[in-house]
Structure 1
């Protein structure tokens, strides 16, 4: 498919732990910010894809009505970081095939309002189906962290690494957040701080777990013709691939670890994992920065291995050696500080960061001469972005 898709506007609200605004209020605010960033008028938006958060958000027709939009292409998804790539791909296909000229991708989350996913005020309706994160309530494991802890314990046993190796993921991302004035966690994080912190579910410490926050993002996806009229530099969606599914996939693991329903086997990225490079004509060395859904620290390891940046079992040393750092690293990861330190907007804040990086607007955390940036998760979905 010939992809004719550009990000012409990116809007994100402030990230908060206070739970003061509704999802609807946050979503409308994000749309307004994205319109201001793009220079477009509200009437230019003729498509919408929502990625709504907790508690359950309004339907797309209600959101369009209350926002004052008039759309001819609309769809919605359940909120989760694994939906970022899918929502952007849907929008890109819509504008490439003339189903709409400008599609607003809107994600609004209210995790602080409900005390986090799995919190007392959460609901099975929001979660879709209980247990999709590997929760096992009959064993006392009732939150998403349970599945992440199981998978990383299996990883550590398989490859002979430990929590001290894992510490370098949150420490590195915290260093990035310290350069980001809009990040929530900006204090220095040391190895001693990490090891002296409490466990949430062993071997995951509190700093291995994302924040509980509220906020919203709107990304305006359009075609080249419309993108030429944008107020700020548009960002091209160069290539994309979908999320993997099936028995061997678990959202807080990568294949081969035997987590939840998976088999235990020696994993190697297959042609579909690496298809994003084949289709784009780019290779690993061309990618100037990687952005991933880091709800828990080990997901960074898994993503690096899923896309072939490291051999299986080598990601801990790759990270520990400074390769994902903005300070001299070969592949900076989550330059905004990620969900672990900037805030949890289901990964959509990473897309805003990608746009700002390719526009050269990131100040002290700017990746020098950034040309190609990748969104990719351990679930296998990916997009590559570039400036024009």
Structure 2
């Protein structure tokens, strides 16, 4: 029995060879084979989940700012007072690369236990050449400690560091001319991200960083229209960005441009919940234009201290009113597209055999339950993880 949206197959089977899917379909059609056989005992098999927007590697935490927000302070007020990203910057600069790796692993493990097999990790808490490269090296080291794929994004254009106070444009130029080329030359970044916002960087400054990314042959992503409708979605589309993320205030024109450009909208309900946002992404416009939607944790110490991608499935449905199919595609196929990965996120022959197994009766349960973890195990590149 098949479902038009998700392509569900009951009593199905998946076979792998050399880390790739060699067969997927009804068990009755499974070709004769040799090798190891695993009886999943009725579990649902999904593509390995993909968390396509995280700030997993950082120093310290900001629980104190959480208390301030509970007392009425806004995210913007805290940032302008020297907290927010700059608070984490100080802790990240002080930490050694080994300390950053050690702090990130428990956070990563929480995702892996839920069936995640690919994670994007951003820099953006170093805000200096040395510290940004340190963050990226720490992210690159994670697959050596765990069975996971890590995609890195350089987010040096995240905030203006204290040494560039009052010289935001100069810092954006430093990112474009110094940090970005160095990260690219050392092979530390798979993409370039930026925070285009009233408290961060202007459209022109962001465009300057994106032009530098083009020169270095790196695709771009964008933190867009989170606090204001500043035209970030349209800018992302103009540069053919892999994704524009947040989009709480993006207008319908920008969304239409993204759909035409193939740019994925990455929705981050954890930030919406934590910041008690009253603006939600325009899901109707995304559906109307065919703009693909991904879901992610936005795991970070300030605005989205989220350790569960399964929770984001529920919040995507309950807060943003996604359908079950939209939510599940948002952490598999569309999340892969948001990272420019064409070899995963869907169960098809020839794709990477990254799988997640769940003890549920229907996939809708993955979006339905709040708390708990029905993941029975993962398969990574064809082998049990």
State the TM-score, normalizing by the size of structure 2: 0.33
Tell which has more relative contact order, 1 or 2 (C-alpha 8 A, sep 6+).
Answer: 1
TM-score by length of 1: 0.33
Which structure has the larger Rg over C-alpha atoms?
2
